[in-house]
Amino acid sequence: MSNTPMAASPLTRAVLEIDEYVSGLGWDQPARLFALVDTARLRAQEPSLAAQLGLEDEPETAGLTPIEQEEIPADSPLDEFLATIAWPDAVTGCALTVERLMLPPSAESGVPQGLSEKKLARWVAEHPERQEVRMTVAVLRDGARESALRLREKDSPAEVLTGPDLVPGLAQALSATFED
């Protein structure tokens, strides 16, 4: 994609490409799962698929190609759904994009204790300091991780935060999809 920095690692470029794609769909989107495949390997082993994806003119060092998977079932908790995934060997990594409400660290001390998950979600949704965030998290089989966070109130490619440890729990859940 045009807005991804070329100096970034292939994993960072893939995360930013996914973020840009999902951003184009707007907010209030369901979670989306992507397989990450080695672009050169895809081009060599599946030339017709590579052509369909517009990869025939990509440079040889293009890195990783995200391929969106089927829609995640809305009635299934995300952690339970991720526990059912097993990737074929051709998949180098995976990525997930999900929207959530987030509170600043200063609000942690005010979280009421003993609330059910449903009541806690309602409390967060009504909190005056809540922020809507889109998280894109990717992991590779070798353990590499990358994340991109986009706040709804700062919905601009220039405002996207990146880093390997921004969403460690989700990264761990995605890494588990590669364990035997």
Give pTM, 2 decimals.
0.83
Q: What is the pLDDT of residues 49-106, one digit of tens each?
A: 777 777 766 655 558 989 999 888 888 888 889 988 989 998 999 999 999 888 777 7
Q: What is the pLDDT of residues 6-33, one digit of tens each?
A: 557 899 999 999 999 999 999 999 999 9
- Which DSSP helix (H) or strand (E) runs through 43? helix 39-45
Q: Which two tokens stand for residue 41?
A: 């390997």
Identify the burial level of 114 via C-beta atoms within 10 angstroms of its C-beta, where 0-12 means exposed, 13-18 middle and 19 or more buried.
exposed
Identify the CA nearest to 170 among candidates 141, 146, 142.
146
